[in-house]
Amino acid sequence: MSTSLAGRTALVTGGSGGIGAATAGRLLRDGAAVVLMARREAELTAARARLLEAYPGAVVAVSAGDALVPGDVARAVGVAHELQGRLDFVIATVGGSMGHRPLVMHDVDSFRAVIDRNLTTAFIALREGVPRMAEGGGVVFVSSVCGEVPSTFLGPYCAAKGGLESLVTVAAKECARLKIRVNAVRPGMTRAAGVTSMFGETIMRERAKELIPLGGPGDPAAVAEAIRFLAGADWLTGQSIAVDGGSELAFNRVCDNADADLFGKAWPAPWSDAV
Q: What is the pLDDT of residues 69-84, one digit of tens each?
A: 999 999 999 999 999 9
- CATH number of the CATH domain containing 216: 3.40.50.720
Contact 207, 254 (CB under 8 A): no
| Mean pLDDT across 34-53 | 97
> Backbone phi, then psi, for 183, in 5-degree steps?
-140, 180
* Residue percentage of the chain with pLDDT more than 90: 71
Residue 87 lies in a domain: yes
Contact 44, 38 (CB under 8 A): yes
Residue 241 lies in a domain: yes
Residue 258 lies in a domain: no
Kindly report the three-state secondary structure assignment for every residue of 33-83.
EEEEEECCHHHHHHHHHHHHHHCCCCCEEEEECCCCCHHHHHHHHHHHHHH
How do residues 2-32 score in pLDDT, each as one tens digit? 579 999 999 999 999 999 999 999 999 999 9
* Whole-prediction pTM: 0.87
Set 157, 199, 229, 263: catalytic member: 157
157 has catalytic annotation: yes
Residue 179 lies in a domain: yes
How do residues 160-200 score in pLDDT, each as one tens digit? 999 999 999 999 999 999 999 999 999 987 776 665 665 56
For residue 62, what are the CA distances in angstroms to 31, 50, 74, 97, 227? Answer: 17, 13, 13, 25, 20
Q: Can you tell me whether residue 180 is helix, strand or coil?
A: strand
Residue 172 lies in a domain: yes
| Mean pLDDT across 263-267 | 47
Comparing 16-30, 214-228, 242-256, the range with the smallest average pLDDT is 242-256
How many domains are there within the chain?
1
- CA neighbours within 13 Å on the CB side: how many for 46? 8
Residue 42 lies in a domain: yes
- Residue 236: which domain range? 9-246
Residue 3 lies in a domain: no
Residue 96 lies in a domain: yes
